[in-house]
Structure formats: structure tokens, C-alpha cells
Structure 1
């Protein structure tokens, strides 16, 4: 009997778009295809794997220093993580999967779909790093996923216009935060939703999104799961 080797762990980035208003908050979610290798038919946030080209992607503004520092904590074996590439991947995947842009009118030119047509430059300064999880062994694909929360007010354009979205996610819609956990979700998505609810529960929709005191980390690099807090 052949023992199947665990697939390599790839860096990935996900954006949790939060639309806040006086009556509560909604989060943008879409459903993965039934034939998807990873998490088929599950509702997820926009996101995906980091591509090599993301390291060279021009950004109008970088991540904040605190976010950069936290992304460098708890590195895996091998080359250190690249905060620039991770942030760029989050913005690129958002544009591809939803058609929504987070950009600035002044900045280096971008050839990404959506950004190229509008003349905007991707803006990473709006991203708040709030969660990290490594896929457990035994899955067909494994990712070291970093989750960023973003206030929907920073979207460039109409937050309800998904006309430029690719077909990777279907049923894209804004889901009231209390109702989102009733969807068919991956376990980690449920956990992230709970963290977002706790993070934003004590502020009004007029307040800036708060930075978390620590970043929860579900570490499944080894055979035994580990939970840590990145300070």
C-alpha cells in the first residue's frame, strides 16, 4: 500500500469585505463550484493562492507596518513569507472573483483586469490582517491562508456590481453577519466569522475598523494541531 504524500503548503490570501450600516453588518460571500478540488459547494470569502508575479505587483500604498510585521511572525520552513505578495494576492483575487476594486487614482499602473481599465492602482493600506490558518494534513490541497478584513466603504465603485467577476464563485451576495454562519461553510470560515463579529461588536458603523490585539493562528504544519496568538 502506497502512502500518499501530503501536498506542499502554499501561501494564500483572503479578503473579508464588511459592509457596515446602522442596522448591522453584512459580509460578501460566494459559493465554490461543485466540481472544485478544494472545498466544493462551500460558501467562502474571495481569495486564493499567492502567485509568483504577486511579489512584483505595483501597489499604490503598502500594508501598514504592524500588518507587515505580523505577517512575518511564525514563518514556515523555507523562504520567509512576503507581505507584499500576500497583500497583492488578496487584492488580485478580490478583483478576479468579484470584480470589486480597492484602489487609488494616484499610483503605479497595474495590468490587472479592472485596475487596468479604470486607471486605478491596488491599495494595500486598507487591509487589516485578522486571522491565519494552515490546512490540516490529508487534504487534496494545503494552504497557509491569511485573512484580511476590509471596510466596504473603501471599494472603488459600486459594491453591488459584480459584472466583472469571473465564474469561480457563484451566488455572490452580501449576507447579514448573523445569518452568514447558517450557510454551508468550511470550519475555518465559521471561526473567522465569529472573530469578525467579536472584533466589530463594540464599535459603531461610523468608527474605523479596529485592529485586533492579536491575530489568531490555527497551525496545522505538524501532525498535532496547535493554536497560537500572533502579537
Structure 2
């Protein structure tokens, strides 16, 4: 397969909605993509990105909840790898770490900085809340899973983004209400609304919304 075909192939991806505070005071961490980015230029998004091959090799300190695993398995053969990718992308793009203290003798190259902090990635607090596939005709296409996480699970200073890569600029905590005034992709607006519903309730929802744009015909269904 040539390089141009690779770019338009649907790739698995994962994003994290990191929530700080509760109720009307709840804020979410967002950043802005660059003006020259091939995918969603200048849009404000949640930290996230494509799943890497090495994400399948990482052992989590604590796994996802079984309900999340079961739902992720409907469309992916390695559910834990999606959680690993979400944690890695959060760390790379913001410098914030979801992990537990532990030894990691031989981490993959792109996880060495994480391991050097004496941490092993921890997926226990992630909640799978949304899935969406990018419509045809876009320069990049992803089968994206969105996870909700409480910022209290982060190790370190929630306002220190000094270790972040340069993929996202203007990293900041914004209230869920004010976030909708930003330059957002449509699907980000939809996911924000879903996040608000989850924050309002304590229990995990009975199903996960799925916007399926894998073909020319867009469909909506729920993953039970």
C-alpha cells in the first residue's frame, strides 16, 4: 500500500477528556492544533491520537473496568491498547501522567520518559464514553474512542505543561460550558455534551454512542 493510501486509511485512535472539578465548576483540558496540521487545523481538541503498534506491548498497572473492555472489544481486538494509547497521548501532548508507582524494566522507546518517573500507566480511572469514525473525504481518518478521566488521578502538578510536546498549543482548563465557544470540530461538541451527562451521573451509562462514518452512509447506534 502506498503512502497516500495509508494517510486516508481508517486508523484506531484514542482521546482523553480530563475533567477537573465537579458540577458546574467542572473544567476540561483542551489544546489547539496548529494552523498547518493536516487534520483539523486550528481546532481545539482533547489530547489524543493514533494507536501505535507498541501500545499493544504495554502492561497496565491496573486495567480498564470490565464493562469498558467489553464495549471496546466490539470493534477492536486489543481493548487495553486503546487505553494505553490514550494515556500515552495525554502524557505526550500535555506532560500529565496517569500512572501508579512501579518498576518498568524494559519499556518501549516512546515510554521511557514515563518509566523514568517511576510510574506504570494506570487505566483504572478511564471510562469509555464515545466512539466516532471520521467521514470519508477527510485527509486523515480515525476510528476514535473517547475516555473520561478525573484529573485527581494525575500524578503531579495539573497546571504544569512544561513537558508537553508542541502538537497542541494554548493548553488550558476550560469550563464545559465555555468550551463550546471555542473553535471546535462538530464531533468534539457532541462528545462534550456526552461528558456533561456522565459528570452529572455517578453510574456508568448503559451504552456508548457510536457515530459510524465508515462508509458513505452515516449511521448512529449505541454499543451496549
Please, what TM-score do these two structures have when normalized by structure 2?
Answer: 0.92
Q: Relative to structure 2, which stretch is displaced further, 101-110 or 10-19? A: 101-110
- CA deviations over 1:192-213 (Å, ceiling 9, x no partner): 00111122124xxxxxx54222
Moved over 2 A (4+): 106-111
Distance 2:11 2:154 in 1: 28
Structure 1 residues 230, 181: closer, same or farther in 2, change over 3 A?
Answer: same
For 1:218 and 1:100, locate their aligned partners in 2 and report how far apart those are by CA, in whole Å: 29
Q: Does 1:140 align with 2:136?
A: no
Greater shift in the superposed pair: 156-165 or 16-25: 16-25
Please identify which structure carries the higher helix content: 2
Could you say if the C-alpha distance between residues 108 and 63 of structure 1 is closer, same or farther in structure 2, counting changes exceeding 3 Å?
farther
More off after superposition, 209-218 vs 120-129: 209-218
Q: Distance in 2 between matches of 1:150 and 1:123?
A: 11
Counterpart of 1:123 in structure 2 is 122
CA distance, structure 2, for counterparts of residue 22 and residue 219 of structure 1: 30
Shift of 1:81: 3.2
| Deviation sequence 1:168-222 (CA, Å, 0-9, x none) | 00000000111000100000000000111122124xxxxxx54222100000111
User: Under a length normalisation based on structure 1, what TM-score does the superposition of the two structures give?
Assistant: 0.89
User: Is 2:10 the counterpart of 1:9?
Assistant: yes
User: Displacement of 1:99 after TM fit?
Assistant: 0.2
- Residues 28, 175 of structure 1: 8 Å contact kept: yes
Q: Which runs of 5+ in 1 are unaligned?
A: 203-208
Q: Note the C-alpha offset of 1:114.
A: 4.2
Deviation per residue, 1:79-118 (Å, 9 max, x gap) = x431121111000000000000000013545452542231
Residue number among 183, 205, 208 corresponding to 1:212 in the alignment: 205
Partner Cα distance (1:106, 1:142) in 2: 36
Answer yes or no: is the 8 Å Cα contact 2:14–2:82 preserved in 1. yes
Q: Deviations over 1:48-93 (max 9, x none)?
A: 00010100012211111111100012x2xxxx43112111100000
SS in 1 for 2:17: strand
Backbone CA RMSD of aligned residues:
1.7
Count of residue correspondences: 217
SS of the residue 1:125 aligns to: coil
Q: Does 1:84 align with 2:80?
A: yes
Structure 1: how far apart are the matches of 2:104 and 2:68? 22
**Do residues 171 (structure 1) and 170 (structure 2) align?**
yes
